[in-house]
Amino acid sequence: MKRGRFITLEGVDGAGKSTSLEAIRRFLEGRGVEVVVTREPGGTPFAEKVRDLLLGAHEEAVDPVAETLLLFAARAQHVGAVIEPALARGRWVVSDRFTDATRAYQGGGRGVDGQAIEGLARLVHPGLEPDLTFYLDLPVDQARRRIAGVGERAAADLDRFERERASFHERVRAAYRTLAQSSERVRTIDASLPEDEVARGIVAMLGDFVDEHG
Ligand code: TMP
């Protein structure tokens, strides 16, 4: 059985990943590919509980290393129970975020040591990195306007990351951009375009990838 491909979608909060995720699923299914769409943190019942813990509000400040370890705990479960078995069965796995998010949010945003993050990545998913990553790039002020939805979303509805100040999101974006420049598997997408145009651009790139690697 030919191993499936692993595709991830990344970007700052508010970059509009959902429309593109759905477009990717439709495109691949249209090409006869069996697809598993999943997300991080989350993707299994246990990992979804860790997600709730990570995104929910707490009365105490959450230690950045504790946050990083929880993300990798959820990821270990997700890789073992969902991602690896699906790839082994020849399915293509499309994940809304993976370890690049830890590199950007915890490494860039929180200042957690990059070598330590790579060490945890080697422990949790040895030999596994995405085959292709779409990074939806958007200036932080635009992303924040989208999150707030101009009066539609109350501040209390925002998750723990969305509530972070602009300077945090600027560091996350800078880390994503550095990663994208230094990695061949990462394609940068201009997410300031209308969402359906962004999705069309992604599907066009994906078409080339499927023709080459499908
Ligand atoms: P999302 O599902 O809306 O993208 O939200 C998940 C949030 O979790 C988002 O703010 C980014 C954050 N996150 C990290 O900080 N590190 C990670 O490794 C992952 C997967 C997500």
pLDDT tens digits along 116-126:
999 999 999 99
Residue 51 belongs to a domain: yes
Q: How far is the CA of 26 from the centre of ligand 1 (A)?
A: 24
Phi first, then psi: give them for residue 167, nearest 5 degrees: -65, -35
pLDDT tens digits along 103-162:
999 999 999 999 999 999 999 999 999 999 999 999 999 998 888 875 566 777 899 999
Closest among 157, 33, 167, 185 to 99, alpha carbons compared:
185
pLDDT computed for residue 152 by the predictor: 64
Residue 15 belongs to a domain: yes
Going by CA atoms, what residue is nearest to atom 19 of ligand 1?
101
Nearest 5°: CA angle at 165, between 164 and 169?
A: 80
Going by CA atoms, what residue is nearest to atom 5 of ligand 1?
13
Residue 114 belongs to a domain: yes
Closest among 50, 28, 31, 26 to 39, alpha carbons compared:
50
Q: How many domains does the chain have?
A: 1
Residue 181 belongs to domain spanning = 6-213
Q: What is the arithmetic mean of pLDDT over 187-211?
A: 95
Q: What is the arithmetic mean of pLDDT over 167-183?
A: 97
pLDDT computed for residue 146 by the predictor: 86
Ligand 1 atom closest to 99 (CA)? 18
Going by CA atoms, what residue is nearest to atom 16 of ligand 1?
102
Tokens 């958007």 belong to 138
- Asked if residue 41 has its Cβ within 6 Å of ligand 1, the reply is yes
Higher pLDDT, 14 or 85: 85
Q: How far is the CA of 40 from the centre of ligand 1 (A)?
A: 7
Q: How far is the CA of 105 from the centre of ligand 1 (A)?
A: 8
Ligand 1 atom closest to 98 (CA)? 20
Residue 177 belongs to a domain: yes
Q: Residues 102, 72: contact at Cβ < 8 Å? A: yes
- Asked if residue 102 has its Cβ within 6 Å of ligand 1, the reply is yes
Q: How far is the CA of 2 from the centre of ligand 1 (A)?
A: 31
Q: How far is the CA of 124 from the centre of ligand 1 (A)?
A: 17
- Asked if residue 10 has its Cβ within 6 Å of ligand 1, the reply is no
- Residue 95, pLDDT > 70, answer yes
pLDDT computed for residue 47 by the predictor: 98
- Asked if residue 47 has its Cβ within 6 Å of ligand 1, the reply is no
pLDDT computed for residue 69 by the predictor: 98
CATH label of the domain that carries residue 192: 3.40.50.300
pLDDT tens digits along 40-93:
999 999 999 999 999 999 999 999 999 999 999 999 999 999 999 999 999 999
**Test site for ligand 1: of 37, 161, 168, most ligand atoms within 8 A of the Cβ:** 161
Residue 44 belongs to a domain: yes
pLDDT computed for residue 31 by the predictor: 95
Residue 1 belongs to a domain: no
The model's confidence at residue 22, banded by pLDDT at 50, 70 and 90, is very high
Give the integer Cα–Cα distance in Å for 122 and 17: 27
- Asked if residue 105 has its Cβ within 6 Å of ligand 1, the reply is yes
Residue 130 belongs to a domain: yes
Residue 206 belongs to a domain: yes
